[in-house]
Amino acid sequence: MAAAIWFLIALSVYIAGPCNGGVTSYYVRKSSPSVDMPIEHFPPPSGHNVPEQVHITQGDHDGRSVIVSWVTPRKAHSHVVKHWAADKCNHKHKTHASTTTYTYHKYKSGFIHHATIKRLEYDTKYFYEVGHGHETRQFFFTTPPKEGPDVPYTFGIIGDLGQTYDSNSTLEHYMSNPKGQAVLFLGDLSYADHYAYHDNRRWDVWGRFVEKSTAYQPWIWTAGNHELDYGPEFGEPVPFKSYMHRYHVPYKASKSTSPLWYSIKRASAYVIVLSSYSAYGTYTPQYNWLQEELPKVNRSETPWLIILVHSPWYNSNNYHFKEGESMRVMFEPWLVHYKVDMVLSGHVHSYERSERVSNVKYNITDGLCTPVKDPSAPIYLTLGDGGNIEGLANSFTEPQPSYSAFREASFGHATLEIKNRTHAYYTWHRNHDNEPVAADSLWIHNRIWYPEEED
């Protein structure tokens, strides 16, 4: 009896184990496989050519444009989006979309439309509709407030979502939080490549599955390894083909040469998206772009500098351990120099939060190859815990390294509530708790305006 009571206590209380680092949670998620929801659970909308898979993202650098994307299954002509401010329903505006299709192995896509609605007012609710005649569908979104150092804003953070029953739990859990205004998505969307010949029907299913969120608030996209869809053995040698056709981002607004790396400003945050699976060595396009991008960030205007990248740079899970090491070596000195606040990544299917550490003193002769506390370094957050079909990564390295503050093998999501230029409140929520319960939380201090150590 006493042993059973102790076991229940251990499931609900965090205890620091005998290690060099922080806390490895003793919460134990029920061990069961993650199973994809059947395709039949997400049929297309009824009708001949009804728009589906509707999703939006930011359409410019400053937040006054929105890219609206949707798919029509049979005809291309439904390529206009109408929009109007909520308080001006008699003033409807039309925007024409570009339309594309693609084939992948034996799959042929529907007609994929992308329309950029421009010159929107800040902090305004808009309605929009896509489709034609009786096959029209209507949605809404709210633009961000004008950028400024003390503008509050709340981001949801999700990675490696997939389309399992656990994925559905994660998405429903996030959507139950009314504070979320936009999602920072850390890569690995549909996991279509889990199936034979990368069954691209699973891209359609994923678009229908997430539409309940993506049609109403912008998701800021990062490409992961499961977006590569690289299949030369069956005649598909072009990487990112499906992803690039379906998910457009405003990369040209930040003078990027590729949609796989770009930046946006939103409220008081400056968000930089990087690509783990594109060349980043010296003088490559991504390297050159980031080198020119970081000095442009005006921390008096957007004090919070956040980087999204799929593969973690600091991670103490045996799963994908040190896969991001070469990219870290390449770019970490820049991030420390420019005092990046946090780096968000996915890829590892568990949750981990780091201390503020860096490993920038190492060279091939000094032997200083251990991360050390660094007040100018970002916090590294690994959130590949969306619930995809590959399941949990539940094998952590032991002992827990000094750079690791908290880690747990569970599915969940996070939120980042930026309060002002000095403070943001970060919370991580496991799926098995009610959403208001934070399994991990931290008041984060801005590196420029309040560079004090977090508690």
Angle between helices 165-175 and 201-214 (to 10 degrees): 20
Provide the pLDDT confidence category of residue 366 given band limits of 50, 70 and 90. Answer: low
Report pLDDT for 30: 64
Torsions phi, psi for 134 (to 5 deg): -75, 0
Q: Is the predicted pLDDT of residue 416 greater than 90, yes or no?
A: yes
pLDDT, mean of residues 247-273: 98
At which residue do the structure tokens 């509530």 appear? 417
Q: Is the predicted pLDDT of residue 343 greater than 80, yes or no?
A: yes
Report pLDDT for 4: 39
Residues 6+ apart with CB under 8 A from 39: 201, 202, 205
- Mean pLDDT for the chain? 93
Task: Tell me if the bond preceding 239 is cis, omega within 30° of 0.
Answer: no
Return the active site residues: 320
pLDDT, mean of residues 302-313: 98
DSSP-derived secondary structure letter, 197: G
Report pLDDT for 418: 98
Token pair for 329:
């070596």
Distances (CA, A) of 5 to 2, 11, 12, 17: 5, 10, 11, 19
pLDDT, mean of residues 432-439: 87
Give the separation between CA 61 and CA 67, rounded to whole angstroms.
12
Report pLDDT for 20: 58
For 42-83, write each residue's pLDDT tens digit: 999 999 899 999 999 999 999 999 999 999 999 888 899 999
Give the separation between CA 332 and CA 338, rounded to whole angstroms.
10
Q: Taking the domains of the chain in order of start, what are their residue ranges? A: 147-187+260-445
Q: Is the predicted pLDDT of residue 365 greater than 80, yes or no?
A: no
Distances (CA, A) of 13 to 16, 17, 25, 238: 10, 12, 8, 48
Q: Is the predicted pLDDT of residue 13 greater than 90, yes or no?
A: no
Provide the pLDDT confidence category of residue 19 given band limits of 50, 70 and 90. Answer: very low
pLDDT, mean of residues 429-451: 94
pLDDT, mean of residues 210-238: 98
262-266/269-273 β-pairing: antiparallel
357-358/304-308 β-pairing: unpaired
Q: Is the predicted pLDDT of residue 5 greater than 80, yes or no?
A: no
Give the separation between CA 163 and CA 171, rounded to whole angstroms.
10
Report pLDDT for 339: 98
pLDDT, mean of residues 22-30: 78
Q: How many residues does the chain have?
A: 455
**Minimum mean pLDDT range among 15-24, 143-152, 267-276:** 15-24
Report pLDDT for 25: 86
pLDDT, mean of residues 192-208: 98
pLDDT, mean of residues 419-442: 94
Provide the pLDDT confidence category of residue 433 given band limits of 50, 70 and 90. Answer: confident
Angle between helices 325-337 and 285-293 (to 10 degrees): 20
Alpha helices (H) in 108-234, listed in sequence order? 165-175, 201-214
The CATH class of 147-187+260-445 is alpha beta
pLDDT, mean of residues 413-432: 97
For 121-165, write each residue's pLDDT tens digit: 999 999 999 998 889 999 999 999 999 999 999 999 999 999 999
pLDDT, mean of residues 299-318: 97
